Amino acid sequence: MKNNNTIPKNTTPAKQSVQPIPIPEKKKIGVGIGILLMKKGKILLGKRHDNPIKADSELHGEGTWTMPGGKLEYGETFEEGAVRETFEETGIKLNKTKIICINEDKNIYAHYVTIGLYCEDFEGYPQVMEPDEVTEWRWFTISEMPKKIFEPTKNVLRNYLANKFYIENK
């Protein structure tokens, strides 16, 4: 197979007429985690910053409410990622979690596989640990959820309420 990125034989670099072919960047699928923290029948949600740069999401969730979570890091288990993300964002220490669902979250900017985890065994109280991304944390009952919910959070909640591990997005 001929490599178009090399200099043809018997020519010097000054006489080279072969140009490298630009290779389009291949989009990658990410893995995210969302943690449904439950306390006395209420779910913890954080208000994402209204500024898209500060809200920092390829899925563009600025101005929406979200559960703690984020991107899984290389080498982490789902549970380890949930513990890390929850602590980084809220200061809460998770003791025991369980995987409750898997979702596909995608738009024109990004495609994520989101692992939903459930936790009601934790220590601490929610604090705004990353004020540039999340401006407040608040407990909501299922019947009094905010209107603007981040799509991955909405999908984890949908599966939780339907008691389904996976529901195809259409």
Spell out a b/e string for 107-122, using b for 16 or more CB atoms within 10 Å of the CB, else e. Answer: eeebebebbbbbbeeb
User: pLDDT of 60-85, one tens digit each?
Assistant: 678 999 999 999 999 999 999 999 99
Residue 158 burial class via C-beta count within 10 angstroms: exposed 0-12, middle 13-18, buried 19 and up: middle
- For 148, residues 6+ apart whose C-beta sits below 8 A from its C-beta are 63, 64, 65
Cβ count near 66 (within 10 Å): 26
Class of domain 27-162: alpha beta
Single-letter amino acid, residue 138: R
- Residues 98-126 have a mean pLDDT of 94
Reported confidence tier of residue 53, pLDDT bands at 50, 70, 90: low
pTM above 0.75, yes or no: yes
pLDDT number for residue 17? 63
